[in-house]
Amino acid sequence: MEIGISPVQSPLVSPALHIPLLAPRPPRLSALGHELEEIEQSGQFSNFGPVNSRFESEIISKMFRGTGACVTVANATLGLMLAIKQATGWRPRGKYALMPSFTFTATAQAALWCGLTPLFCDIDRDTWLPDAAAEEALLRQYGEDVAVIMPNATYGNCLDLARYEQLSRESGIPLVIDAAAGLGSLQMNGDAFGRGSTAPAVFSMHATKCFATGEGGLIYCTDPERIATLRRMAGFGLDAARITVMPGINAKLSEVSALQALEKLQEIGLIARRRAALQRLYARLLPGFTFQILAGRQSALQFASVLLPNHLRPKRAQILIELARQGIGAGHYFSPHLAEHPYYREHAVSGRLEVTQEISERMISLPISDKLTKAHVHHICSLFIHACREA
């Protein structure tokens, strides 16, 4: 089998080296002894404490250039649940949450926990973001039964926020942005992804993300009143007098996690740029394969996503086995896509998903991490090409 590319074996990497698909690198707590002592001495370990407040202030200042407001959450799934509930109210007018099937299960689970049924749409063949025509067709079909629109910024790729805000205004349907992998992504004008969004954008700070802490999330938008409401909802729905005034859960970020987030904020720009450079190297070394087309200037990458040629779709499992045998961790995010999961076959509704099905079956996820070097990428690409030829 010829795929139009020569091996790119690097002499700088040991053939016996094991390279995992994901190599989390949250800030080292062992290096933050003084800061941890300060948390202990403060006696405040949660409840939007001083470290958390400093992080929220600095990320608005440094990442979003002073525009908007934000609130931290214990994880992005809780953030989505809060944002959906705040946007749709206690009794939503509709029963469906419009979202792509090509996303992580957290998106659909958050909708289910808010009493909604996931309504899966197809994705764009090039960007792998939700397909505009597919979304609009489902909105016409289901009309007022759609309670919320929930596009996902696939692999950190930038959604067209202006289009979604217009779609929300024209349809009268609330918008919640699933921006899970987007902290560190840049829009085409150089702004951080999400900057200026009037709708809540929910970001993840999970250890496997580019913006890696142990666990955590962030809800951002331009409306400080909405953020204040979400903050109360994240604290059991209590007001300043500790009286329950709205639906709420416990979604507060701990001070230790906020400290990790504060440290990660100082280096996220460099990390995201470095990972983007590794992705470009993958694309240069694998010209016979298909990569995601960026809708913005930069995506904050967890891994390198590449599509196998069509004739290799049935051989993906064999290719992954060969990569594992050679010490290369690889996977296939998001495959199976959500509509293929047994639970969602029973508890979700789908539109036509032809592109989603094809992209999902061709997807291979290759390593990108903070410790990965260019020599490692050469080594991985050589073994990947070999595995494809063997298949």
Q: pLDDT per position in the chain (391 positions), as tens?
A: 344 444 444 445 666 689 999 999 999 999 999 999 999 999 999 999 999 999 999 999 999 999 999 999 999 999 999 999 999 998 888 999 999 999 999 999 999 999 999 999 999 999 999 999 999 999 999 999 999 999 999 999 999 999 999 999 999 999 999 999 999 999 999 999 999 999 999 999 999 999 999 999 999 999 999 999 999 999 999 999 999 999 999 999 999 999 999 999 999 999 999 999 999 999 999 999 999 999 999 999 999 999 999 999 999 999 999 999 999 999 999 999 999 999 999 999 999 999 999 999 999 999 999 999 999 999 999 999 999 999 8
3-state secondary structure of 123: strand
CATH architecture of 268-390: Alpha-Beta Complex (3.90)
Half-sphere exposure for 117 (CA within 13 Å, toward CB): 14
3-state secondary structure of 130: strand
DSSP state of 118: E
Q: List the beta strands (DSSP E) in 150-247.
A: 177-178, 201-204, 217-221
Q: Identify any residues that bridge with 250 across adjacent strands, giving them in sequence order.
A: 235
Domain ranges of the chain: 29-265, 268-390
DSSP state of 115: T
Q: Identify any residues that bridge with 295 across adjacent strands, giving them in sequence order.
A: none
The position carrying tokens 């859960």 is 249
How many angstroms separate the CA atoms of 332 and 368, rounded? 14
Q: What's the pLDDT at 4?
A: 44
**Tokens representing residue 82 in the block:** 């809060």
What residue type is assigned to position 164 of the chain? Y
Q: By CB neighbour count within 10 A (0-12 exposed, 13-18 middle, 19+ buried), where does 54 fall?
A: middle
Domains 29-265 and 268-390 share a fold: no
Q: What's the pLDDT at 335?
A: 97
Q: Are strands 217-221 and 201-204 parallel, antiparallel or unpaired?
A: antiparallel
Give, for 79, the enclosing helix (H) or strand (E).
helix 76-88
The position carrying tokens 């995992």 is 20
- Cis, bond preceding 334 (omega within 30 deg of 0): yes
Q: What's the pLDDT at 13?
A: 63
CB count in 10 Å sphere of residue 242: 8
Give yes or no for a contact between 247 and 331, defined as CB atoms under 8 angstroms apart.
no
Give yes or no for a contact between 207 and 260, defined as CB atoms under 8 angstroms apart.
no
Q: What's the pLDDT at 2?
A: 40
Q: What is the pLDDT of residues 201-230, one digit of tens each?
A: 999 999 999 999 999 999 999 999 999 999
Give the CATH class of 29-265: alpha beta
The position carrying tokens 């904020």 is 265
Nearest to 289 by CA among 366, 185, 178, 227: 366
How many angstroms separate the CA atoms of 33 and 46, rounded? 18
CB count in 10 Å sphere of residue 2: 6
Quick one: CA torsion of 74, 75, 78, 83, rounded to 10 degrees?
A: 100
Q: List the beta strands (DSSP E) in 224-381.
A: 290-291, 303-307, 349-350, 363-367
Long-range contacts from 271-278, C-beta under 8 angstroms, 24+ separation: 271/184, 271/210, 271/211, 271/370, 272/184, 272/185, 272/186, 272/210, 272/298, 272/300, 272/301, 273/298, 274/370, 275/210, 275/300, 275/301, 275/368, 275/370, 276/301, 278/304, 278/368, 278/372, 278/374, 278/377
Nearest to 192 by CA among 307, 59, 316: 59
Q: What's the pLDDT at 14?
A: 64
Q: What's the pLDDT at 227?
A: 98
Q: What's the pLDDT at 1?
A: 35
Q: What's the pLDDT at 32?
A: 97
Give yes or no for a contact between 327 and 16, defined as CB atoms under 8 angstroms apart.
yes
Q: List the beta strands (DSSP E) in the chain.
A: 69-73, 96-100, 117-121, 146-149, 177-178, 201-204, 217-221, 290-291, 303-307, 349-350, 363-367
Q: What's the pLDDT at 61?
A: 98
